[in-house]
Each structure stands twice: as structure tokens, then as C-alpha cells.
Structure 1
């Protein structure tokens, strides 16, 4: 049986990449579960590491610390989200099905789906799968991620592991997007700042802006596709020798 992880607040700071001061602030705000006390020393575990990740993801999505605390409290207690979100409790029409942008999903369905995983629904929101609308409804935030998540579950991956995979995928995509944006700033934006900012300069910047909004997706799809083909080909050759034609 695996031993329970016991971390001091300094250990927790090192493992999570946070400062001790920030973690103490999270504790004071009620964002983290209380530590297990042994004498005068508090010890933290995996649940605290998971909760820190959730808090950081929610903050990245523009939710304030107080908002994060109220959401986590609502999730933990299974309360309605109307008061948390500041919306009126109005009847919600039957939600449409399907993972399309903005598609509505009953909160009860998601609560049931993620009930076996600690902070499961909070992790799903933090990973960008869903976002709350009111006390009874969530909407699909990113259909592509929901589709991959469902495929992982269909393949027998546990919900806990699937959430980890989706969160990492979101992080990787965010990193790529930031890279392209940084390149755009270091080239097109800097060039425009050094220009006379005339009509022709504005037209050039506009064209470059249109390009950075569309080309990264095509470039990334092509490069990732080639890597996937290479890695999958290696797996097929290794695991199923002689079963598939060379290059299949």
C-alpha cells in the first residue's frame, strides 16, 4: 500500500513551485484544506498539491481569489452556484446535447460524472472543459478538449488520469500559443513601433496580425501530425512486428 505523502509547508512550496508566503495566504483565505497537525507542525499531502493546481488554473481563467474560494466552497458542499456566480435562480431549459461551443450541460450530470474524483468538477473547469453558467447549468468551454477527454474514457482511462492528461494538453497548447504571440511581438510589433506608423505600416501590421491568428493552427497541426506519425509508427513496429505493412 502506498504511503501517504506528508509535506511541510516548505516542502509543499518546493513541490508546487509556489512561495511559502503565497501558500500561507491561500491557507488564510480558505483555498486549501487544513493541514494535518502533528504537534505544532502542519503536514500537507497530494490533495493540497491538486488543490493548488486547481486554484492556479482558475486564476488563469480570470477568476479572483475570492471568487475561487467561493466556487471551491460551493463545489465542496454541493451547493447551488446561483449566489456564487451572482445570477438569479431562473428555470433553465433542457440543454442541447453534444460538445459544441457553448453547449449546455446540467450541473447535476457533471456532478455525478466527477463525484468519484476529489475536486473532479473543479479540475474539469480548471482544465478548460466546462464553465459554470448558473446554479443548474454548465457550458462546454472547449469542444476539442471534451472530445479528447471522452475518447480517453472510452479507451478505459480513469477519470482522474484523463483530467491530468487534458490539463497537460491545455498547458502545452497554451505554451505554443504564447510562443507564437512572443514571436509576433518581437517581430511585427517591434517593427511597427520603429516605423513612421503610416498607412502602409498599419496595413503591414494588420496583415501580420491576421496571419498570427490563423497560421499557428495550421503549422502546429502539420508539425504535431508528423511527430505523431513518427512515434505511432515506432510503437506499431515494436509492438506488432510483421502485422502491418512497413510505414503503416
Structure 2
């Protein structure tokens, strides 16, 4: 298809298609004389780029994702991307805050090392040199309460790092063993439909999305349900260990 036809099919302007090619996100068209022609692989990749852009991803981030996506799987990834935005699992809106305002709760200024820790742990997105977007304002409010109790800032950061490390492991298990398996089944249905020259039944897509919607609170709630029990067990175990040591 021509670039104009590709634009009509995907809703992406001709100008943006060429910009994506210049940025290295899309391969050039196959030339037939002086005419550039695009195929279904170009279309699938462009649809994925379009969906990721609509979700707020920058071109640099999209390029990194595309490099990790298997060749020929663009349409399947685009289908899954349509179902779940970057905020599918998020339960609260991000909040911007200056670093000095965050550190003021500890009556101090944040050191370069502490800023680096915030930028690295995944819950704070740097915006310039002196501002962060907090992806979990509720967790920040907990940090403030710990500050009121006299807990040092570095200790709070240590606790956050530990929390992120272990919850990330839990999240990875849920994604790989539950969500990703289901997403792959949907991608396979899409591939089979494409071979037949048809599309996936919209009812299948909607039922899959509804199932994900039901699983989301269960995955999040399971952590909240288990943690108090484990916390009590660890507290009791530590107290017994201390008493035995004395």
C-alpha cells in the first residue's frame, strides 16, 4: 500500500509516518521504481507505535520497546496495547512535587545520592532537576508519617527500596504466570484470525478485558491480605530470636 493508504488505515498522518521512519522506529518502504510501498508488517508496527504514543510514551521509550518485540508480532502487541493502558493497574493519579518540598518533612535538603535513589526506584519519575512525579502519592504520605515519628530519611528510602524489590518480584509472578499467559492466548487468537483473513471476535476481546478487570483487584488485594499476617510472623520471630540471644 502507499503511504497515503497506510495513513488512512491507521489514522496516523503521512508526516508522522515519515517522522517515525526518520527516528528509526519504522523500516523504510519497499521501493517500486520511485514509489514507496508498505505491507501489513509496516501497518502492525505503526499501529503499535500509535497506541503507545496515545498512552503517553516518548519516542525514545517506544524505540526501546520495539527493539525487544519479536519481528512480525506488531499486530498482536498492538491488540494487547489497546486493551491495557499504562494506568490499568494504577489505583491513584500521579502527583508532582518539588524535591525540596519532599525533603522538608525531614527538615533537611535532599542530597544528590538521595535524589538518585528516588529516580532509580521506579516510584518517582524525574521531571527536570528539582521536581519528581510521584507515581504513588499514598506511599509518599506514609513516608511523611514516618518522618513525624522521627524515622530518618535514609531509613525511609531503605524501606521503600526493600518494598519495591519484593513487590516487584510478586508482580512479576502475577504477570508471567497469569496475565501474560492470557495475553498470549489472545495474541494467538489474533494470529489465527489473521491467517483466515478475518478478525478476532469482539466478544472474545471484551470477555478477556472483563476477566483482566476482575483479576486486577484480586492481585492487588492479595498483597494487602497476606502482608499483615507475614508482618506479625516476622515480628514474633525477631522477638523470639532477640530473647534467645539474651
TM-score calculated relative to the size of structure 1 = 0.43
> Whose helix proportion is higher, 1 or 2?
2
